[in-house]
Amino acid sequence: MPERELTFAQAVREALAEEMRRDSSVCIFGEDVAEAGTPFKVLSGLVEEFGAERVLDTPISEAGFTGIGVGAAMTGLRPVVDIMFGDFLTLTMDQMVNQAAKAHYMSGGHWKVPMVLRTTLGATRRSAAQHSQSLHAWFSHVPGLKVVLPSTPYDAKGLLKTAIRDENPVVFFEDKMMYKLKGQVPADDYTIPLGVADVKREGDDITLVATSSMVQVALGAAVLLEKEGISAEVVDPRTTWPLDEKTILDSVKKTSRVIVMDEGYGRYGVAAELAAVIAEGAFYDLDAPVKRMGAMHVPIPFSPPLEDVTVPTEETVYKAAKEMCAKS
Amino acid sequence: MSTVTAKPEASREAASEKDKWLRAYRQMVRIRLFEEQVNELYTRALMPGLAHLYSGEEAVAVGICEALRIDDYITSTHRGHGHCLAKGASPDRMFAELLGKEAGYCRGKGGSMHIADPATGNLGANAIVGGSVGIATGAAFASKRLGNGRVAVCFFGEGALGQGSLYEVMNLAQLWKLPVIYVCENNLYNEYTHYSETTAGTILGRAAAFGIETAAADGQDVRAVNEVATRLVKRARAGEGPAFLQADTYRYSGHHVGDINREYYRSKTEEQRWKTDRDPIKLQSNWLIEQRYADAAALEQITMEARAEMEAAVKFAVTAPYPSVDQVDEDIYA
């Protein structure tokens, strides 16, 4: 299997291009997805290869074109709908929550909605409160949706190909700060199943369960911890629904300490849910209470020194882990 | 390709005209009698949930759906029984769904407001006002992309004119020349509020602003609706783009069956006037008799057959079993 180094953005584009070559029902629409290739340039070159009939620029109408995606998915296409900033997901909520998520169940299994909603998450881009949120917990809360959070170029390609082939609505979150991250990616066709976590680093003393942008933070913290003689295991669920509880619980049972890290808000969020899963499934194996680390419960501020304290960093995770390991 | 002379051709046309309008009459009667049974089931507490009756508006659903192919798509509303029947759903499985039975169209998981049926192109009734405008437009997008010639009809009430997503998808439908027809059933009331209190400007002016083909039809006249619908469907199928049809009609009952005391928003005189002067079934029956397509006895026969059909369908639904509880988490994911 030939591997090359690709950026996260290139891996996403390669997944889309391969799926569009493989299946003529796959099409893309969203704001500035064609010639512009999105503001992040993730889609550059696709309209040139696949034409304006399959890569369509839309008006700035997130609710409208997401709804069109739902209907097109029900009737024979596999749309990949592009929502530029995850903050704009608020405008798609009725279509995703009341329509896409429920069409299959509500019709007694008759209709299917094989669509992907690709969007972004993540702060620290100096974009302020309406371009920095991580709202994947909202979609993880809704039965009928699947939620994917790739953290490496390899995962991005394999998971996106699976998401496109899935028969259900899948919301696919890309950390916009990660588009330039490089990693080894096979040049050929491979997929990664949804609902299978990945142990990104093995360790014995503490588990860091981390999603999306937080995986790189956890890996950085693990390096700092290693210098203190603390061996951290990093578990990346890769999808919040379906959720691979077993891999998470197996790790926690082994290490007996755990921090859950997610860039969404910690309260009522993905970190809260992961903490609850661990409390229910591994309580008697724990030597310390589960710790949540997520975005601070504030709207994301613009000013750099303010924004920087709203999200967990290698340093804050390192300190929290060290303290947790010292206590017991 | 035909070698027959003009005369038999004309008589065949007359026969098919007769069959067509008798069929439309039958369809309207079936909807009316279906809804009478719903009212009965609901008031006898046999039907859980909510019941929004379509009585009075039959000519719209029938006039439109008689202009469609079986594989054309529709999306419907919370007041959707008429659309489902007009598109070809069978009443037994509809009643079963209304009662939450496994034999229902959605295996009991959808109920009155969510009947969906791929076999008749019914993408689903929708309980969010304006909630299906994207789905219908998306179905039209898929039809165009796949080249299958299907048209999508999006039924909604005038209450949905307040929803912004309608304008988003109309803009897109016109830009992309999609084969979708937006059918606004103006029954005058957004639930309990007259539409004049909620609707600035004109209804057709909204679609006209996008350059969409607009048309109006008397929603109590099944032939008028069908004539307009036939033209709009033809041009949509030919790739000439979307259309918007305003059909003025009237909701005989309250917003739902429990909406009994309505005088604070409309008078009994007004209701009676529509029922007496503008009833779509009466208007069609008078016309059929005038045209000598049928006599009163033949029309009464149609009613009796429809009544027997609905009674049998109710009986089927009432005695049908509920789904087993272990089905509760089936079909969340495909």
> Quick check: A313 pLDDT over 70?
yes
B116 to A75: CB separation less than 8 angstroms, yes or no: no
Residue B68 has pLDDT above 90, yes or no: yes
Cα nearest neighbour of A99 on chain B: B131
B48 and B18 Cβ atoms separated by less than 8 Å:
no
β-sheet with B213-218: strand ranges across: B122-125, B73-76, B152-157, B180-186, B243-248, B213-218
**Model confidence at B11: pLDDT above 90:** no
C-alpha span between B279 and B221 (Å, rounded)? 9
* Residue B6: pLDDT over 70: no
Residue spans per domain, chain A: 3-186, 198-327
Residue B4 pLDDT: 46
Side-chain half-sphere of A241: how many Cα atoms within 13 Å? Answer: 21
In this structure, are residues B178 and B191 in contact, taking their beta carbons and an 8 Å threshold?
A: no
Q: What is the pTM of this model?
A: 0.95
* pLDDT exceeds cutoff 50 at B189: yes
Does residue B86 register a pLDDT over 60?
yes
Asked if residue B318 has pLDDT above 80, the reply is yes
B273-312 residue pLDDT tens: 999 999 999 999 999 999 999 999 999 999 999 999 999 9
Q: Do domains A3-186 and A198-327 have the same CATH topology?
A: yes
B204-213 pLDDT, tens digit each: 999 999 999 9
Q: State the nearest Cα–Cα gap between B166 and chain A, in angstroms.
A: 8
Tokens of B8: 């038999």
Residue B168, pLDDT above cutoff 70:
yes
As for the ipTM of the complex, it is 0.95
For the segment(s) A3-186, the CATH number from 3.40.50.300, 3.40.50.970, 1.10.10.60, 1.20.58.100 is: 3.40.50.970
pLDDT at residue B2 tops 50 = no
Of all residues in chain B, what percent carry a pLDDT higher than 90? 95
pLDDT of residue B15: 74
- The answer to whether A131 is a known catalytic residue is yes
A81 neighbourhood in chain B, CB within 8 Å: none
- Cβ <8 Å between A105 and B332: yes
CATH number of A198-327: 3.40.50.920
Q: Which residues of chain B neighbour A148 with C-beta distances below 8 Å?
A: none
Give me the pLDDT at residue A2, please.
Answer: 79
pLDDT given for residue B1 in this prediction = 42
* CATH code of the region B13-320: 3.40.50.970
CA nearest to B72, candidates B244, B233, B219: B233
pLDDT of the residue at A327: 63
Residue A271 predicted with pLDDT over 70: yes
* Residue A30 touches chain B, beta carbons under 8 Å: no
In the structure, what pLDDT confidence band is assigned to residue A91 with cuts at 50, 70 and 90? Answer: very high
Please compute the mean of the pLDDT values over residues A314-325 and round it to a whole number: 97
**Annotated catalytic residue, options A131, A136, A141, A297:** A131
Query: Is it the case that residue B5 has pLDDT exceeding 90?
Result: no
Instruction: Establish if A24 touches chain B: CB-CB under 8 angstroms.
Output: no
- Does residue A130 sit at the B interface (CB-CB below 8 Å)? no
- What is the pLDDT averaged over residues A187-197? 97
